[in-house]
């Protein structure tokens, strides 16, 4: 979402335009991504306006500014801060190219929870992620008091650097099977349990590309949150004139071949839950299962953490000094 010229990145969407899009779409849940939403000079007006409309809000943030901006907001059942953390300290700081980023985010989470705000985490996993470390990260987040944790495999944006980091479909299933099998009762996830089965390779789901419609400065983005094949002026135009059959892994579209992101597949999982008794019972079973898997446990036990293949580079600086 940051692959734009500087003059575009400096623009802010007016609150009134945000409200028009929300009213036009009618969705009960609104996610405010970025860039970094807390940099928007009217972010509190946007949040207040959405709360007045009784919309459930996920304000996605890296939390670097969260602690100093908390005074702009009031705790509400409608507002959740979704803090982007890509794992334990070393892994998160490496992922975001900022040493100390994890500690700043954790301190902001503590303060937000202390003040009564709802807080969840949002974690994107890439090829080479350490399953043991991710599981330890779950314990750390539960200790902080977050309501739940969201997980998703990274999507291979065409313009993104380090393309070899993106997970392929079979590697995604293997990674999430190691992470999510033999889970602890105390872990709370902010995900459909059927979508989690999909990530583990235990269930097939088709993509619902309109499940998380995306509006930005250019209009309604076609076809989905992660792809940009043009824009529609209205929500109705997005739904009625987009060639949806061109998207999803089953379409043969190479851009969709390895995608397993929640923005396309979790809506399908939720639809299955409410499709009838079978979907409802599948969801209940998945909700309470800890997914015992002796083979996954043995593989985890044998694993040794692999070093990062690149140096951590501080944004605005050079490579960090190596220590002996």
Q: Is residue 129 in some structural domain?
A: yes
Q: How far apart are the first and last CA of the chain?
A: 38
Report in angstroms the alpha-carbon separations of 142 from 138, 192, 213: 6, 18, 30
Instruction: Decide: helix, strand or coil at residue 206.
Output: coil
Print the domain residue range for 39.
6-301
Phi, psi angles (nearest 5°) of residue 125: -110, 140
- 319 DSSP 8-state letter: B
Tell me the pLDDT band of 157, cut-offs 50, 70 and 90: low
- What pLDDT does residue 7 have? 84
| Overall number of domains in the chain | 1
Instruction: Decide: helix, strand or coil at residue 41.
Output: coil
Q: Is residue 283 in some structural domain?
A: yes
Report in angstroms the alpha-carbon separations of 153 from 13, 28, 200, 261, 262: 28, 25, 11, 6, 9
Q: Give the pair of three-digit tokens for residue 322.
A: 């190596």
Report in angstroms the alpha-carbon separations of 35 from 140, 185, 212, 260, 284: 26, 34, 18, 22, 36
d(CA 118, CA 204) in angstroms, rounded, equals 32
Q: Give the pair of three-digit tokens for residue 175.
A: 């990674």
Q: Is the peptide bond before 35 cis (omega within 30 degrees of 0)?
A: yes
Nearest to 309 by CA among 95, 147, 119: 95
Q: Give the pair of three-digit tokens for residue 143.
A: 């200790």
Q: Which residue is listed with tokens 């959740």?
A: 80
Q: Which residues contact 267 (CB under 8 A, 6 or more apart)?
A: 208, 210, 211, 212
- What pLDDT does residue 302 have? 93
Query: Can you name the residues that pair with 215 across neighbouring β-strands?
Result: 220
Q: Give the pair of three-digit tokens for residue 238.
A: 């997005």
Q: Give the pair of three-digit tokens for residue 110.
A: 């503590």
Q: Is the peptide bond before 4 cis (omega within 30 degrees of 0)?
A: no
pLDDT digits (tens, 9 = 90+) for 264-285: 999 999 999 999 999 999 999 9
d(CA 276, CA 271) in angstroms, rounded, equals 9
Q: Is 13 exposed, middle or buried (0-12, 13-18, 19+ CB in 10 A)?
A: middle
In the chain, helix, strand, coil percent, each to 5? 45, 15, 40
Q: Is residue 69 in some structural domain?
A: yes
pLDDT digits (tens, 9 = 90+) for 230-272: 999 999 999 999 999 999 999 999 999 889 999 999 999 999 9
d(CA 91, CA 84) in angstroms, rounded, equals 12
pLDDT digits (tens, 9 = 90+) for 17-75: 999 999 999 999 999 997 799 999 999 999 999 999 999 999 999 999 999 999 999 99
Q: Is residue 82 in some structural domain?
A: yes
CATH code, 294: 3.20.20.70
Lowest-confidence segment of 5-14, 62-71, 176-185 by average pLDDT: 5-14
Q: Is residue 320 in some structural domain?
A: no
Summarize the confidence of residues 159-182 as an average pLDDT. Answer: 79
pLDDT digits (tens, 9 = 90+) for 71-127: 999 999 999 999 999 999 988 888 788 889 999 999 999 999 999 999 999 999 988
d(CA 37, CA 40) in angstroms, rounded, equals 5
- 131 DSSP 8-state letter: H
Q: Is residue 324 in some structural domain?
A: no
Q: Is residue 322 in some structural domain?
A: no
Burial 178-209, CB ≥16 within 10 A → b, else e: bbbbebeeeeebbbbbbbbbbbbebbebebbb
d(CA 29, CA 45) in angstroms, rounded, equals 17
Tell me the pLDDT band of 187, cut-offs 50, 70 and 90: very high
Q: Is residue 167 in some structural domain?
A: yes
């Amino acid at each position: 979402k940051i692959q734009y010229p500087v003059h575009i990145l400096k623009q802010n969407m007016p609150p009134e335009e945000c409200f028009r899009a929300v009213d036009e779409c009618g969705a009960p849940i609104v996610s405010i991504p970025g860039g970094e939403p807390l940099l928007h000079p009217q972010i509190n007006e946007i949040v207040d306006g959405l709360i007045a409309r009784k919309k459930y809000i996920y304000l996605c943030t890296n939390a670097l500014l969260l602690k100093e901006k908390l005074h702009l907001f009031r705790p509400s059942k409608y507002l959740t801060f979704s803090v982007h953390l890509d794992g334990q300290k070393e892994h998160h700081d490496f992922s975001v190219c900022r040493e100390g980023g994890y500690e700043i985010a954790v301190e902001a989470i503590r303060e937000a929870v202390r003040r009564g705000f709802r807080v969840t985490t949002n974690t994107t996993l890439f090829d080479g992620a350490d399953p043991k470390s991710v599981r330890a990260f779950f314990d750390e987040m539960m200790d902080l008091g977050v309501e739940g944790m969201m997980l998703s495999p990274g999507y291979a944006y065409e313009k993104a650097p380090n393309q070899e980091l993106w997970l392929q479909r079979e590697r995604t299933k293997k990674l999430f099977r190691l992470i999510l099998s033999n889970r602890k009762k105390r872990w709370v996830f902010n995900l459909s349990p059927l979508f989690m089965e999909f990530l583990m390779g235990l269930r097939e789901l088709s993509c619902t590309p309109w499940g998380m419609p995306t509006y930005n400065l250019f209009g309604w983005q076609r076809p989905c949150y992660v792809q940009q094949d043009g824009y529609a002026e209205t929500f109705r135009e997005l739904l009625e004139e987009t060639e949806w059959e061109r998207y999803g892994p089953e379409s043969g579209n190479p851009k969709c071949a390895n995608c397993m992101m929640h923005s396309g597949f979790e809506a399908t999982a939720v639809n299955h839950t409410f499709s009838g008794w079978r979907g409802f019972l599948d969801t209940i079973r998945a909700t309470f299962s800890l997914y015992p898997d002796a083979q996954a446990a043995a593989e985890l036990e044998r694993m040794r953490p692999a070093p990062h293949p690149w140096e951590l580079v501080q944004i605005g600086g050079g490579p960090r000094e190596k220590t002996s």
